[in-house]
Amino acid sequence: MRLRDLTSGDLTYRELSNYVRGLSPSSATRTALNDGAPEPTGEQVMLADLFDAVAILDWHFTLANSDDKKAKPKKPKPYPRWWAQQPKQRHSSQRVAKLEDARRRKREREQAIAEGRIA
């Protein structure tokens, strides 16, 4: 297959797309199309999903068989998928205001301790 076949009509864009998708996830072409980040293999995706499924099943089993009087176990965090785009955390104005207020109270508390008003 040659790229000149694309202009001559012997190769369609759909066929070219299928050829590129058929390349190995670690190929240079697929990595370049993914902004330089390597793509995960099918095995990596399946292992991450399997890890999550086993962790959830274990959590459900523990939750069902734990004493009602004791604290319930926390839901497990999903396996970190390095290939998935992480959502960017944006600080809302409320969150920023709460953080600044907490820092102000901490400074006041430290000052009161230094002055001996608080033991």
Q: Are residues 35 and 48 in the same domain?
A: no
The structural domain count of the chain equals: 3
Please tell me the distance from the alpha carbon of residue 106 to that of residue 117, in angstroms, as a whole number: 14
Task: Please determine, for residue 15, whether its predicted confidence score (pLDDT) is greater than 80.
Answer: yes
Please tell me the distance from the alpha carbon of residue 22 to that of residue 20, in angstroms, as a whole number: 5
Q: Are residues 49 and 33 in the same domain?
A: no
Q: Are residues 26 and 52 in the same domain?
A: no
Do the beta carbons of residue 78 and residue 52 sit within 8 Å? yes
pLDDT given for residue 88 in this prediction: 65
pLDDT in tens, 84-105: 876 666 678 888 889 999 999 9
Please tell me the distance from the alpha carbon of residue 98 to that of residue 105, in angstroms, as a whole number: 11
Average pLDDT of the chain to the nearest whole number: 87
Range of the domain at 20: 1-39
pLDDT in tens, 30-88: 888 878 888 888 899 999 999 999 999 999 999 999 888 888 899 999 999 888 876 66
Q: Are residues 3 and 27 in the same domain?
A: yes
- Which helix (H) or strand (E) segment holds residue 16: the answer is helix 13-21
Q: Are residues 35 and 45 in the same domain?
A: no
Q: Are residues 2 and 32 in the same domain?
A: yes
Task: Please determine, for residue 9, whether its predicted confidence score (pLDDT) is greater than 80.
Answer: yes
